[in-house]
A and B are shown apart, each in its own frame.
Chain A
Amino acid sequence: MKRVNKALFEAFLFLLALTFLSPIYIMLVNSFKNRAELYQNVLALPSSLSFEYYGEAIRKMNFFTAFGNSLFVTLVSVGIVVVLASMTAWMLVRTDNRWSKLMFMTFVSTMLIPFQTLMMPLMQVMDWIRDVLHIPMLNTHGGLIYMNVGFHASMAVFLYHGFIKSVPIALEEAATLDGCSKFGVFWRVVFPMLKTITITIAILDVISIWNDYLLPSLTLSNKALRTIPLSTFYFFGEFTIMWNLAMAGLTLTIIPVVIFYVFAQKYIIKGITAGAVK
């Protein structure tokens, strides 16, 4: 009796998980159908596997360019966040004076500010930097990366700060006595010990920057610079009526995310838990 119950429970859980992902199924099957077939039965499997709409979606979304742009912006932004935030947080933990405390409080206290509160004045500041200082902050990947780093700074400093507090100082003192500069102490001794929290921060920031739509939409107007969410938005505006084409496009955008998930699942789950619990 108990074994039957358990088998039923296993089956129930499996069915529940499958039902939960049914929207993905609907997206997938309809990306292979032509218009008539799609409207005949949206739930049925396609009669043939034609990749016609994928080819069209790749062309119309400029998919590979958008993918490259997203990859470049995400990786460079996250790399800079990790390098600068770990250095900053370490210095803030190891320096015990009011400037250090004030700076930490400034980082942390801004964490609740919603993006919508900052977006318009931020664009004014970036306009001013472009017009007066002649640094091209708008409509460049460099400018977008700069702003990404600014927005992800406080969370990263906060997480590093909490982690570094529990790292023993003895090793650093030994390295200093051996004649290491602060720079050497940090990169050779401290940073390698921060691996777990670095993975957490990198994963959280990769997910949020990769999926971000609003900031790139405000800063990038050049078509060739668009990231995946941006090119999806414009693609969708033009082809909403053609659902099969739209579904092929959406499937394309999800493929990189699924690949990332498959390879980094262990780290993602750990990172999410650690990031949330802090």
Chain B
Amino acid sequence: MKTKFDKAWFALFTIPLFFIFATVVIIPFAIGILYSFLSWDGISANPKVFVGMDNFVQLFRDDRFLASAWTSVKFTIFALIAVNVLGLVFSLLVTGGLRMSNAARTMFFMPNLIGGLILGYIWQFIFTDAFKFIGPSTGLDSIFFNWLLHPQFALYALVIVFTWQMAGYTMIVYIAGIQGIPDELLEAAKVDGANGWHRLTKIVFPLLMPAFTICLFLTLSGAFKIFDVNLSLTNGGPMNTTELFALNIYNEIFGYSRYGLGQAKAILFFLIVAAVTLTQVVITKKREVQM
């Protein structure tokens, strides 16, 4: 039965989805590559001029784009560390056998279900008006001021909101990893005189490598592709200093109507996302310990 290939049934089962998928993903991807070699303003009556590699040359001279790419890299590094450290700490706290564990887990995960756009708006209020109130009333003016008006702090604000959103998600994955570690292993180490820190670093962390792989992959691609929070929290401000990669592409195409140049950036964006995430998966896979 398995080897008999019934063409009609195969087509009936697979073609509907593949057709939709082809028109929404494959064809746009292919013509997207063509668009990156054109100069066009998005108005169908206006000519599309073939300019070869010009767009790709031009984007490396675009200071705002280069700054945006660099800020994206910084954001991703900060976010990667913050999300995973917090997620790991949360997962260790809620697997300690406390009565509060389930309630705490529920609460830590909650923000992950709220959309990025809405999270950004809630925090916009906190970083502006709530901070402006807390600062003078507690005397901590140096911490609590309007973060969104300050380039460096506006970037930290993005990191905080992204961390708030993603920490609970990585926590869930780390919890699954921790629960997969056999109790006997930790008991045996305890009997052999290993203290809590040693048990954590010599047994728990190495056995958590698969969970690290997953979480690093998820946060890396999530952070690098962030758009909604960026749009609603800072909208790239102040003065475009927090305009990250995806928002820069969006503004180039739909804001300035430079469709060819914007699409060239979008293709470069894809290449970077693919290269970075694949490299990361290969590296961390190698370090996983077999049980």
- Whether A94 is near chain B, meaning CB under 8 Å from some CB there, is yes
Q: Mark B18-34, 1 if CB is under 8 A from A, else 0.
A: 10110111111101100
How far apart sit A117 and B17, CA to CA, in the bound complex (Å)? 21
- Secondary structure at the A interface, as helix, strand, loop or mixed, is helix
Interchain residue pairs with CB less than 8 A apart (9)? A41-B137, A95-B10, A117-B270, A120-B262, A151-B24, A153-B20, A169-B1, A265-B106, A276-B172
Complex contact A43–B130 (CB within 8 A):
yes
Chain A residue with minimal CB distance to B99?
Answer: A10
Give chain B residues whose Cβ lies under 8 Å from the Cβ of A18.
Answer: 107
Complex contact A84–B17 (CB within 8 A):
yes
| Residues of B near any A CB (own CB < 8 A) | 1-3, 5-6, 9-10, 13-14, 16-18, 20-21, 23-29, 31-32, 35, 44, 93-94, 96, 98-101, 103-118, 121-123, 125-126, 129-130, 133-134, 137, 164, 169, 172-173, 175-176, 214, 218, 221, 225, 227-228, 231-232, 246, 249-250, 253-254, 259, 262-263, 266-267, 269-270, 273-274, 277-278
Give chain B residues whose Cβ lies under 8 Å from the Cβ of A246.
Answer: 121, 125
- Whether A140 is near chain B, meaning CB under 8 Å from some CB there, is no
Complex contact B115–A213 (CB within 8 A):
yes
Which of these, B104, B125, B133, contacts A16 with CB under 8 Å? Answer: B104
Complex contact B114–A41 (CB within 8 A):
no
- Whether A224 is near chain B, meaning CB under 8 Å from some CB there, is no
Complex contact B25–A151 (CB within 8 A):
yes
Which of these, A16, A124, A207, A268, contacts B93 with CB under 8 Å? Answer: A16
Which of A117, A176, A236, A277 is most buried by chain B, counting CB atoms within 10 A of its CB? A117
- Secondary structure at the B interface, as helix, strand, loop or mixed, is helix
What are the 9 closest A-B residue pairs judged by CB atoms, nearest first? A150-B24, A211-B115, A84-B17, A91-B13, A121-B28, A121-B32, A122-B28, A17-B107, A17-B104
CB of A129 to closest CB in B, whole Å: 8
How far apart sit A157 and B21, CA to CA, in the bound complex (Å)? 11
How far apart sit A178 and B99, CA to CA, in the bound complex (Å)? 53
Complex contact A213–B228 (CB within 8 A):
yes
Give chain B residues whose Cβ lies under 8 Å from the Cβ of A94.
Answer: 2
Give chain A residues whose Cβ lies under 8 Å from the Cβ of B129.
Answer: 38-39, 42, 243
